[in-house]
Structure 1
Amino acid sequence: MGPVPVHLVLMGISGSGKTVLAERLAAHLGRPYAEADEFHPAANIAKMSAGIPLTDEDRWPWLESMRGWMDQEANAAGTVSTCSALKRTYRDLLRGAAGRVVFLHVLAEPAVITERMEARTDHFMPASLLPSQMAAFEVLAEDEDGWVLENSGSVDELVERALAVVAGL
């Protein structure tokens, strides 16, 4: 039996820096990469674009698509993906992927996130939805396989902190 794939899921609220970090990690580690936003059905994107928060019912098919991608792309190394993974129940669903699923919670100050969100011009989610994401967010529990990465300093420093975590897996 070969090595167990390790799927790295960079989680956190929108604007926390998940995508930049995930892209750099995937390139460094040579693993397949996916941005969770690409798995949203058109109805979810339309709701968010209109400033309407998603419900759990909206999110289940999206999360199942993400888990399916992890299963499909699983190889000896695993994958790197982004996903807000706001609630434990969402993370539990993702944890059902083949292999080990490790969550890296990218944490940034709310003021920094708001500034980033307001500066975005190429994303469907408006900054007005940040309060609903913050309200829904459940921190990683002690029994969950994951780490918190504070998004402070430079991108290179954040990548180095993430690589140190990954090296210890």
Structure 2
Amino acid sequence: MVLVVVMGVSGSGKSTVGSLLAKKLGWKFYDADDYHSDGNKLKMAKGIPLTDQDRIPWLGELHKIIREGLSSENIVLACSALKRVYRDILTNEESTALSQEVKKDEMPPSRPFFVHLDGSMELILQRLEKRKGHFMPSALLQSQFDTLEPLSAPEHFIIINVEKNVLDIVSEIERMLVKSNLEYLQ
């Protein structure tokens, strides 16, 4: 089974791109925002950035969902996954002091594929300021950019500029999955 994590800062289009990609591929879609605790949502709504400790239970829950889901289906997850350690927790990769706080069960064999939706602070800020009804205020965008750790080897990833049309982004991701020889059409 295959896991694709559509990641990036708030407002980069993770939920939109992830849900469209999952629909196009016939895969299961999860939006990580749906799994934040009420306390985390309240903290962010007040303009207070989450700490690593705030994120641990949330990442642990997402890890569990991914592990259980991958036993029977391909998954697209929309998740900020800003730090390497967060991505490691999600995918059961190398242990670090922070990730050791999450009980990890063996994941089904799968090499996660990360899609980083990247864009300028100015563009993403414009998007956030137009968004209604979301707990994440635009005031926290700088903290997200400050926290973001670029993807690097051995992570399996692509970076896509969010200035492109959403349907073009989804098509590009699909092409990269095929090019990467991920057997997602099973």
TM-score (normalised: structure 2)? 0.85
1:147 counterpart residue number: 158
Structure 1 spans left out of the alignment, 5+ residues: none
Instruction: State how 1:31-70 maps to structure 2 within 5 Å.
Output: 31-70=27-66
Change (3 A) 1:77 1:165: farther
Distance 2:161 2:71 in 1: 29
Q: Give the alignment's Cα RMSD to 1 decimal.
A: 1.2
Is 2:11 aligned against 1:15? yes
Instruction: State how 1:80-99 maps to structure 2 within 5 Å.
Output: 80-96=76-92, 97-98=107-108, 99=110
Query: Which of 113, 136, 149 does residue 138 from structure 1 map onto?
Result: 149
Structure 2 spans left out of the alignment, 5+ residues: 93-106
Q: Identity across aligned pairs (percent)?
A: 38
- The answer to whether the 8 A contact 1:94-1:101 is kept is no
Give the letter for the 1:69 counterpart. I
- The alignment partner of 2:151 has SS state of coil
State the number of aligned residues. Answer: 165
Distance 2:67 2:4 in 1: 13
Distance 2:140 2:163 in 1: 23
Give the letter for the 1:142 counterpart. A
- The answer to whether the 8 A contact 1:9-1:102 is kept is yes
How far apart are residue 77 of structure 1 and its match? 4.6
Is 2:117 aligned against 1:121? no
TM-score (normalised: structure 1)? 0.93
